[in-house]
Amino acid sequence: MKKLVSSVLGFCLAALLFASLSYAQQRDVITFHLSQPALATGETLPAGDYQVRELDTANGVPVLLLQSGKFSLLVAAARVPDEPSDFSSATKLVFERRGDSLELSKICLEGRDYHYQLAQD
């Protein structure tokens, strides 16, 4: 009986996880191209074409998935509220120069009342 309950519970958790990931994949997807390597939260992003998705988390902290081919990186980000006058008129990525490198610091979404702020190392 315990095995049956464990199996059913495991199946339910797997179904819930799949449903959460499916929902997350339906959200906005940002695409961009890096012509040279850059940093994101201290990790190197190789040059290439990328997609960014926000994944849901149980604790409400946004986690962004950055993918390019077989490369993927999960980064925690803060959702920072913007004033109405600061709402972005276009989706854009903001990079800051750190020594000889560029580091992704902010992702703004067109018409949203917030932006994503990435942690800086």
In tens, the pLDDT along 15-44 reads 333 433 334 444 679 999 999 999 999 999
87 vs 85: CA distance, rounded Å:
6
**CA–CA separation, 66 vs 29, rounded Å?**
10
pLDDT band at 10 (very low <50, low <70, confident <90, very high): very low
- The 10s digit of each residue's pLDDT in 76-113 is 999 999 887 777 788 899 999 989 999 999 999 888 88
Q: Identify whether the C-beta of residue 23 lies closer than 8 Å to the C-beta of residue 15.
A: no
What's at 118, amino acid-wise?
Answer: L
Quote the pTM value.
0.70
